[in-house]
Amino acid sequence: MKRGALVLVTLASLAGGCSLMAEEPPEAAPRVTVPELVDVAADVPEAERVRLPRLARDSAERRARRLTVRVRNLTCEGVVTGSGFALADDLLVTNRHVLAGAEELELSTWDGKAVQVASARVGALGDVGLVSVEESLPLPGELGRPPEAGDLVTVVGYPRGGPLTLSEGAVVDRIDGAALGIPGSVLRLSAHVEPGNSGGPVLNGRGQIAGIVYARQRGTGFGLAIPVDTFRRLARVGGYEDVPPCGAD
């Protein structure tokens, strides 16, 4: 994987599945350090949670713009586009299938600034990937409480590798992710999701991370996302490994 690249995500329109591709990591690439994942709203009483204000539209857009990164993955089989978001100053979260098969990764911010890639890893379980970068990302996100059916959310990303978009909707329900290749629950969303949204954040009304987009469900057209509680569990139980080479995943 070459440095100085841009990473983007491809959404699958399978029956809850996602397209997978693979990446060859550089020799002796530095390991991605995974921070402890904390649900920042876990200790807020439910009665107080419902009174938390939503961000104004312009504030939400500014936050989403600074938080979300465009991803472009140059593989031996073609170009994969997607999205990602900052979890720390030097750490980007995206999907495993966005990083898979990369011969070169390119990252850029909403205004076209290139972000230098240091290394990448993928989750041993589930469709999660991490990219370490060599410079500070504009705005690290914070994890919110696990979303529930009916919660209003916003899907942020770079559909089809184009400009940043925000799509508002709600959590339809939670379903068992086992049949979809995700060990844990999965969110179904009414917000519009397209190829290129994969790896982008699902934001709650306070601009916190509620989930990670990874696919669109065939038939229903619902967006599928890994909720923050499943993400935390995957990081704790599954761990991370080298990005699989092209054609291996």
For the full predicted model, state whether its pTM sits above 0.85: no
Domain that holds residue 40: 1-240
What's the mean pLDDT when you consider all of the chain? 80
CA distance 175 to 194: 20
Tell me the backbone φ, ψ of residue 110, rounded to 5 degrees.
-60, -30
Closest CA to 55 of 116, 144, 119: 144
Amino acid at 24: E
**42-51, 59-68, 154-163: least confidently modelled range:** 42-51
Asked whether residue 170 is assigned to any structural domain, the reply reads yes
Beta strands in the chain (DSSP E): 68-75, 78-88, 91-94, 102-108, 117-123, 129-133, 152-157, 165-176, 185-189, 201-203, 209-216, 223-227, 240-242
Neighbours of 48 (CB within 10 A): 9
pLDDT at 247: 72
* 247 part of a folded domain: no
Is 154 within 8 Å of 203 (Cβ atoms)?
yes
Tokens for 73?
């993955």
Greater pLDDT, 124 or 57: 124
* pLDDT at position 30: 38
- In this predicted structure, the answer to whether residue 7 has a pLDDT above a threshold of 50 is no
Phi-psi region of 214 (alpha: psi -120 to 50; beta: other; left: phi over 0): alpha
Q: Does 96 map to a domain?
A: yes
Measured distance CA(80)–CA(8) in Å, rounded: 6
- Indicate whether 229 belongs to any domain: yes
The answer to whether position 5 is within a domain reads: yes
| Tens digit of each residue's pLDDT (9 = 90 or more) over 72-115 | 999 988 999 999 999 999 999 999 999 999 999 999 999 999 99
DSSP string, 120-153: EEEESSSS-EEEEESS--S----B-PPP-TT-EE
- The residue among 14 and 34 whose pLDDT is bigger is 34
Residue 49 binned pLDDT confidence (cut-offs 50, 70, 90): very low
What phi and psi, each to the nearest 5 degrees, are found at residue 131? -125, 125
In a domain, 246, yes or no: no
What does the DSSP 8-state code read for residue 6?
Answer: B
> Binning pLDDT at 50, 70 and 90, where does residue 39 land?
very low
Q: Residue 53: its pLDDT value, please?
A: 52
| Residue (of 97, 90, 94) closest to 71 by Cα position | 94
pLDDT of residue 16: 33
Number of domains in the chain: 1
pLDDT in tens, 135-173: 899 889 999 999 999 999 999 999 999 999 999 999 999
Residue 96: its pLDDT value, please?
Answer: 95
CATH number of the domain that 149 lies in? 2.40.10.120
Helices (H), the chain: 46-49, 57-67, 96-99, 228-237
* Residue in 212, 210, 233 with CA at minimum distance from that of residue 145: 210
DSSP annotation of 161 reads G
Residue 88 lies inside a defined structural domain of this protein? yes
